[in-house]
A and B are shown apart, each in its own frame.
Chain A
Amino acid sequence: ETGVTQSPTHLIKTRGQQVTLRCSSQSGHNTVSWYQQALGQGPQFIFQYYREEENGRGNFPPRFSGLQFPNYSSELNVNALELDDSALYLCASSHGLAGDVGELFFGEGSRLTVL
């Protein structure tokens, strides 16, 4: 148990719809990172939030957006869903900038299916 919780665990959407995924960080962690993992692939970095500010973004279009709240929980929003957005979305929290200070603590993920 990492203390990182994600919701919902599974969801099905149709192409063109919008989705919001939520993540509660482990207590004391001020950094949240979001990753997309397609079947059989490694996690792809979407973006990272540090103390409510975006701190780095991967190669994802602007329809992927995010927020971090004062309690350090976070949301990932995806607009105009495409079939290729079907994946496991992973949230990870850390104290400070993960690549500098150490490990990421992952939630169990949100499995998104786009039909």
Chain B
Amino acid sequence: SQQGEEDPQALSIQEGENATMNCSYKTSINNLQWYRQNSGRGLVHLILIRSNEREKHSGRLRVTLDTSKKSSSLLITASRAADTASYFCATASSGGSYIPTFGRGTSLIVHP
């Protein structure tokens, strides 16, 4: 079973536009992480936000966390064709073995 679920499943935008992906989860978490995966490759860590944080930035990435709604969003600003990839959120439940559990991902296509 998957703890986090990303929305939308697929997103198609033009270069220069912003891309927003959302993640909802079910149980209390210790932290939430976002990863990127180019087709058929390994996952690359993008950003981690802890349960006591509300927002984090890294370059063109902005992540928010709302623990009351059990949701997170990933915003990529000024998107580039090279941002085309699948994006996954991973949650580590609090009070457990802290094992990151992944959602099904959002497939992002950025058209040049």
- A interface with B by C-beta (< 8 Å): 2, 4, 33, 35, 41-45, 48, 55-56, 59, 88, 90, 92, 97-100, 102-109, 111
Contact = CB atoms under 8 A, between A and B. Distances in A.
Contacts of A104: 33, 35, 43, 45, 90, 100
Contacts of B59: none
Nearest to A6: B42
Contacts of B45: 103-105
Contacts of B35: 104, 106
Interface residues of B, number: 26
Interface of B: 1-2, 30-31, 33, 35, 40-45, 48, 88, 90, 92-93, 97-105
A57 to B, nearest CB: 9
Nearest to A41: B104
Q: How would you classify the secondary structure of chain A's contact residues: helix, strand, loop or mixed?
A: mixed
Contacts, number: 75
A103 B102 contact: no
B100 A42 contact: no
Contact of A59 (B1, B42, B88, B105): B1
Contacts of B100: 33, 45, 98-99, 104
Contact of A103 (B1, B33, B104): B33
Those 9 A-B pairs whose CB atoms lie nearest each other, nearest first:
A99-B92, A99-B98, A106-B42, A103-B45, A42-B102, A56-B97, A100-B98, A106-B43, A108-B42
B43 A90 contact: yes
